[in-house]
Structure formats: structure tokens, C-alpha cells
Amino acid sequence: MTSVKVASSRTVAFKALCALRKNTTYAQDFLKHFDAFCALLQDEKSFVQHVVCGVISSQSMVDKILAQYVKRFAHQPYKVLICLRMATYELVYRQTAAYAVVSQYVELVRLVDKRGASFVNAVLHRIAAYDQANFARARQHLVRIIQDCHSYDDILRIINAAPISVESQHHLLQSFGFMCESDFLCEACLVSGLPTWIVKRVYHDRGLFICAHMALAAQAHVPFYVCKNPYNPPQIPDTLVPVQSAWGSYTLQGISPALLYNDIEGQRLTISDFAAQCIAACVVHTRPKKLLEIGCGKGTKSLLISYMNKRLSCPAISERVLCDKSSQKLACARKRLSRANITDPIRFVAHDATTLDTYFDAHERFDTVFIDAPCSGSGTMRRHVEAPTTMSEAALDVARPHSLVHTQSELLRAASCLVNVGGFLIYATCSIFSCENEDVVSAFLASDAGKGFACTNFPRAWTQELHASMREAVTQAYDSFSASVVDTNHKVSAAACTPSQVESATACMYSRCGMYLFAPLAHSCDSHFVACLTRIS
């Protein structure tokens, strides 16, 4: 029998996953410094990234699939388990031809554990026979759901409406061919690869349409957006497509961020999801003379605020304070701002922001306080592949004293007394869960600390720029998404779509007074939330 040579990219992906088994480093950071990965060609690197990150993010569902065929699954040798997970991910989520996957991984197992080769061969043939087709059918089912949203206004009405009754939910599910809620959740979990509790919470929080969007986005191409530094402008290549020229926002079309390495390292370009850029623009449009940024982290949004304040010709911020609990992150933020040639007077404060009300002078107030709150990261799971496995449902329990929701509430309470009358308190997360977003804001407004605040409309100029840029972003996303979908029964041509249908196929956000949620979309921005509160007394 002629032996099959295992592709070098699969061997490197296998070695990386073995190394990450006992390494707490994030996968993307690990690969940057993994010698075997760095030696590969660009196409091979892309494959390794997809497989390594895909196996980690979808491990919950991959293991469920394998458990159907493998007795005592957890007791298998770890190298054999990693091979099985990689092969299952390729068969199901990449829909790679079965003959290629089976032959490659049987040979790979033979190199690390000869006794397991025939066993792996049998398991993979069964997955190829059943689960590969099941995934394809489930995906097309979800595609039909988001394509059957006939207008953008309909989606906004559905999302903003009061919760519908159990009976109405059941009828809606039946209209799309689901017998019950669990049938939909099974398909959404299979397509997304996410744990059941996450998908179920998104469904209950956001409804059928947004949950279907999220499931499809979880395994889709992750777009990259960058913001141009006006203090040290780069030469913009033709492959960068403008999304919002006024902000200096671009998307990368068909090129790797690695090709822009020098501009990114030199802070001439800053990588940031477009929804995050929208939030930074919102802060700028409040036109603060005194600005406090809470939870600045490594300074990405701080850079964006500086860029946009200059590009939009807003008044200079005379006093600016960046606060974070981590002194290491603050040092990184300081370094990045310096590298970007931003020389504005900025004070860096390493302090627990839940007690900031006792840190500042009793009379010190700011025109705008921006809270970039710590959160579950449920809106950015496709970029942070470890999130689904490290996220805990217990962390979303407001009754727990150290939960994320409790911390978010404490941040709002502590920040509330630092806002001038007539000033703005802006609260943002990268979560899709309502318990971290609207619920936190509503609870704050109902509390003693929030009595002097009201949810108000966002600055008009920002709203106009937002709608124009999101229209462009979602149109680009729909073109990419429709090109990636092959559905002979329900095919939608991008060229044949009206503008309202383009928007409905990629419902970018919903709005309530003073609140915006950017929904997670395939080939478009991640899910972020922002609320604008004004101190009225």
C-alpha cells in the first residue's frame, strides 16, 4: 500500500494544537512566535490559522459529534483526540472532501500512534457519511431564515418589539420548518460550533433572526477593518476599501493584515472592528473638553478617538485621563499613543475603576466619561476563539458579587458622580447578551446613582455618519456573504436585490432611544453595544 504524505500545513496545525494543550497563550499570539508556522508560505499559514482557531472555537460541538462514535472519548490518547478533532472540523466546518481528510489524518495518526489508525479511519468514514451532510443542510436552513427577512424596517420592528408570546414564537419557528425550539437550537449549535447555553441565550435575548445571523457568522470569514492615523498617515494601497472616509476607516479586501505589518506596527494603521470604530466616533461627537476613558486596555479605542478628533476637526481635548486596572496595559497604551505621534496631554491612571469616585477630587468633573466595560466578549467570539470555552454562564449572574454584570453595574455607579451636568456617560461592551447591555443600563437608571441621568438620542452628526457608513459596510458584507452561499432552492443574487433587501439580509443594528446594538454578521462587523446617557441634574 502506497503511503500518503501528510501536508506540512496539517502537521504544523497538529503540533500547534498539541503545544497549546498545556499553554495558556492565545492561539493567535502563539502562532506568531511558533517557528514551524513562521516558516510556511502565506496560503499554508492561512490554512493553519483556520484549522487551529476553528478546532478551539468549535470544540464543544466537535466533541459532541465524536462522542456519538467513540466510546470512552475522553480516555483516548490526546494525540489521537487532536487528530480526530482536526479531521472532524475539516469534514464538517470546512466541508473538505472526505477522501482527502480521511487519507491525510489516518496517515497522521499512523505517525503518532500506529494502533489507532484503523479506528480513526472507521470513525471518520461515519462522520463523512452522516455529519458532513447534516451540517450542509442545517446551514442552508439558516441561510433561508435570514434571506426571508423581507425588509430592514421589518427586522427593526421585530427586534424592537416587546417579547412575543411562547405561542407566537412556536408559530414563527414552524413557519421556517422547525417543529420546536430545540430543533432550531440544534441546527444553530451545529452550524456555529458554539456551546448550547450560548446559542440558547442569544435566541432568548435577540430572537430567531439575529441568532441565525450569529450562527452563520461564527464560522464565516472574519473581515479586517483598519483606521488611518492622520498624525502619521500611511500610503493606502488600492486593496483597502473605504467604509467611512470621514473617520479614515477602511476594510481589507482579499489581503492579509500581515502585508500591512510595517504600517500596523508603526501605528500608521490601527486594526479595529468597524463597530468599535463607530463607538469611538460616538465619543468624539460629544465634543468633550475633558474626557475620562475607563477600561482603556491597550489603547485601541484611545487611538481611534485621537485619530477621529483630528480628522473631524473637533475642538482639542484639553484634559484627558486614561484609566485601567492593569498597569501593564496602560504601559502598552502609552507606548502605542507615543508611537502614533499623539502628543496631547494625557494622564494615565492605574486604578480599580469601581472605586474611581473616591480617587478623584470631590469637585473634579468631566464632560464625557466613556466606559469600555469588561464583558463576556460574546460579540467577538469569532475573533477570540478561546472565548466560547472560557466563558462562564455564572459570570453573567448579577446576584454574584464578583460577576461581570455586577462589575459593570459598579462601574456605572462609580462613574456617574464624575460627569458634569449636561455631560455624557457612554457605556459600551462587545457583548450580545442583554444582561450585560440594556439590563445593566436600565438597572442603573432605576438606581439612586442613575436618577440624574436619562437615555438621550446620540449626537445627530454621528447618527448620520453611522447610517451612511453602516449602509456601505453591510452592502459589502452582503456581496461577500451571497458569494459564499450556494443554495439551489433559495438562491438570492446580490445584483437582483433592492437596497432594503440588502439591508434586511445583514441587519446591522437595532436602536432604542440612546442605545445601539450592532448584530454579529457574516462577513461584517462584530456585535458591540453602546448607550449614551446624559446627566440632566
Q: Is 372 annotated as a binding residue?
A: yes
Q: Residue 473's pLDDT is what?
A: 66
253-257, 321-325, 495-499: which range is least confident on average?
A: 495-499
d(CA 189, CA 177): 17
> Tell me, what CATH number does 68's domain have?
1.10.940.10
Q: Answer yes or no: is pLDDT of 472 > 70.
A: no
Indicate the range of 242-251, 511-520, 525-534 predicted with least confidence. 511-520
Among 202, 218, 234, the domain boundary falls at 218
Residues 92-101, mean pLDDT to the nearest whole number: 94
- Domain annotation covers residue 498: no
Same structural domain for residues 58 and 86? Answer: yes
Q: Identify the domain containing residue 73 by its residue range.
A: 8-136
Q: Work out the average pLDDT over 162-185.
A: 84
- Reference 247, options 292, 306, 320; nearest CA is 306
Q: Which of 278, 430, 435, 532 is catalytic?
A: 430
Contact 530, 426 (CB under 8 A): yes
pLDDT at site 251: 87
263 with 269: CB under 8 angstroms? yes
The whole-number pLDDT of residue 116 equals: 87
Q: How many domains does the chain have?
A: 3
What pLDDT score does 60 carry?
Answer: 92
| Whole-angstrom distance, CA of residue 4 vs CA of residue 6 | 6
Q: Say whether 430 is catalytic.
A: yes
Q: Is residue 323 part of a domain?
A: yes
- 350 and 377 part of one domain: yes
**Stretch 488-503: mean pLDDT, rounded?**
34
Q: Among 112, 136, 160, where does a domain finish?
A: 136
397 annotated as a binding-site residue: no
Within a domain: 507: no
Average pLDDT of the chain is: 86
Between 256 and 146, the higher pLDDT residue: 146
| Cell 446559542, located at residue | 199
Residues 322-367 pLDDT 10s: 999 999 999 999 999 999 999 889 999 999 999 998 899 888 999 9
Burial (CB < 10 A; 0-12, 13-18, 19+), residue 368, is buried
Are 441 and 372 part of one and the same domain? Answer: yes
pLDDT score, position 349: 96
Does residue 3 sit within a domain? Answer: no
C-alpha cell at 478: 452582503
pLDDT for res 421: 95
Q: 391, 399 in Cβ contact below 8 A?
A: no
With cut-offs at 50, 70 and 90, classify the pLDDT of residue 496: very low
Averaged pLDDT for residues 246-271: 85
Same domain for 393 and 518? yes
Q: Are residues 407 and 527 in the same domain?
A: yes
The answer to whether residue 154 scores a pLDDT higher than 60 is no
| Predicted confidence (pLDDT) at residue 160 exceeds the cutoff of 60 | no
| 43 within a domain of the structure (yes/no) | yes
Looking at the fold, whether 82 and 173 belong to one and the same domain comes out as no
171 and 37 belong to one structural domain? no
Does some domain include residue 383? yes
Alpha helices of 486-529 — where are they, by DSSP H? 499-505
- Whether residue 29 is annotated as binding a ligand: the answer is no
Q: Is the dihedral of CA 288, 290, 294, 299 positive or negative?
A: positive
> Span 257-274, mean pLDDT?
88
- Same domain for 212 and 83? no
Residue 462 half-sphere exposure, CB side, CA atoms within 13 Å? 22
CATH number (domain holding residue 284):
3.40.50.150
Question: Do 330 and 214 belong together in one domain?
Answer: no
Which pTM does this prediction carry? Answer: 0.89
Burial class (CB in 10 A: 0-12, 13-18, 19+), 135: buried
Q: Cβ–Cβ contacts within 10 Å for residue 177, how many?
A: 11
The percent of residues in the chain predicted with pLDDT above 90, rounded, is 60
Question: What separation in angstroms does the CA of 427 have from each of 256, 375, 406, 415, 436?
Answer: 32, 12, 14, 10, 11
Single out the residue of 93, 65, 78, 68 nearest to residue 19, CA to CA.
78
Q: Are residues 290 and 165 in the same domain?
A: no
The secondary structure element, H or E, covering residue 114 is none
Q: In this predicted structure, what is the pLDDT of residue 479? A: 58
Maximum distance among all Cα pairs of the chain, rounded to whole angstroms: 82
Average pLDDT over residues 111-130: 92
316 and 408, same domain (yes or no): yes
Contact yes or no for 463/457 (Cβ under 8 A): yes
CA distances to 349, 356, 407 from 352, rounded to whole Å, are 9, 7, 11
In the prediction, which pLDDT does 197 show?
A: 95
Three state DSSP letters for 386-436: CHHHHCCHHHHCCCCCCCHHHHHHHHHHHHHCCEEEEEEEEEEECCCCHHH
Q: Is 67 helix (H, G, I), strand (E, B) or coil?
A: helix
Task: Judge whether residue 504 has pLDDT over 70.
Answer: no
Quote the pLDDT of residue 505: 32
- In the numeric block, the cell 440632566 is attached to 536
Give the Cα separation of 366 and 369 in Å (integer). 6
Mean pLDDT of 249-268: 83
62-66, 72-76, 202-206: which has the minimum mean pLDDT?
72-76
Let me know if residue 492 belongs to a domain: no
With respect to residue 295, please indicate whether it lies within any of the assigned structural domains.
Answer: yes
75 and 154 housed in the same domain: no
